[in-house]
């Protein structure tokens, strides 16, 4: 059974963006590869940017789901925070197309096309991931597990470390220095255990 046209456009565009880059394809190219008329593509999306942003929202839907499932399946605050690292890693390993497109969006459009990236919907939704991490941290502070630090600063730091690690992983730096995913997971446990967790 053929997918509906809207999803066919998104699936086709995602592959094309990854292969040729955002500037390397046109609405006509997307239509041709999806075996649709250009008019059919414009019926669903006003321009290429809207298609790209829709794919980014699909990516964030996946990452948001992974975060919620990870947090909900853990019982302690430290384990819940580590689960967000695991969620990023799963997103990178199992949804690489979405990961690459979302990273390209952050690097390309937020620097060049958005006069006020703080008002951007994708930026706002990325902030929701940090909100989830901050909520877990606040829970840990209230129960006496974590030191009384600013929750969003902690979330920003842990997320930045993880995203940086994934970028190095993408470039093969892990292999060069002889480290694997588990090495970095153990390091994140140390950061949480000795850096922000209260010491008895």
Domain that includes residue 18, residue range: 1-46
Q: Are residues 100 and 123 in the same domain?
A: yes
Same domain, yes or no: 100 and 178: yes
Co-location of 67 and 112 in the same domain:
yes
Q: How many other C-beta atoms lie within 10 A of the C-beta of residue 10?
A: 20
Residue 28 CA neighbour count, 13 Å, CB half: 0
Quick: pLDDT tens for 125-171: 999 999 999 999 999 999 999 999 999 999 999 999 999 999 898 88
pLDDT of residue 103: 85
What distance in Å separates the CA atoms of residue 48 and residue 42, rounded to the nearest whole number?
9
How many whole angstroms from its chain centre is CA 98? 8
Total number of domains in the chain: 2
Indicate if 89 and 134 belong to the same structural domain: yes
- Res 109: pLDDT: 61
pLDDT at 115: 57
Mean pLDDT by 10 residues, the chain (200 residues): 80 93 92 94 94 94 98 96 96 95 73 57 91 97 95 95 90 87 89 84
77 and 155 fall within a common domain: yes
User: Sign of the CA dihedral 14, 18, 20, 22?
Assistant: positive
pLDDT for the residue numbered 159:
94
Compute the distance between CA of residue 31 and CA of residue 119 in angstroms, rounded to an integer.
31
CATH number for the domain that contains residue 35: 1.10.10.60
Q: What is the pLDDT of residue 121?
A: 86
Shared domain check, 22 and 105: no
């Amino acid at each position: 059974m053929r997918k509906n046209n809207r999803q066919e456009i998104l699936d086709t565009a995602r592959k094309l963006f990854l292969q040729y880059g955002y500037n390397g394809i046109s609405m006509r190219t997307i239509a041709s590869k999806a075996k649709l008329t250009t008019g059919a593509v414009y019926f669903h999306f006003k321009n290429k940017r809207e298609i790209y942003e829709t794919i980014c929202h699909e990516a964030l839907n996946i990452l948001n789901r992974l975060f919620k499932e990870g947090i909900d399946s853990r019982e302690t605050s430290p384990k819940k925070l580590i689960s967000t690292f695991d969620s990023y890693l799963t997103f990178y390993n199992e949804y690489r197309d979405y990961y690459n497109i979302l990273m390209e969006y952050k690097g390309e459009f937020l620097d060049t096309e958005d006069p006020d990236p703080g008002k951007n919907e994708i930026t706002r939704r990325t902030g929701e991931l940090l909100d989830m991490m901050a909520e877990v941290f606040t829970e840990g502070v209230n129960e006496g597990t974590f030191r009384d630090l600013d929750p969003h600063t902690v979330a920003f730091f842990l997320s930045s470390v993880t995203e940086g690690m994934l970028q190095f992983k993408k470039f093969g730096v892990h292999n060069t220095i002889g480290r694997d995913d588990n090495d970095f997971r153990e390091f994140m446990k140390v950061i949480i255990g000795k850096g922000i967790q209260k010491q008895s």
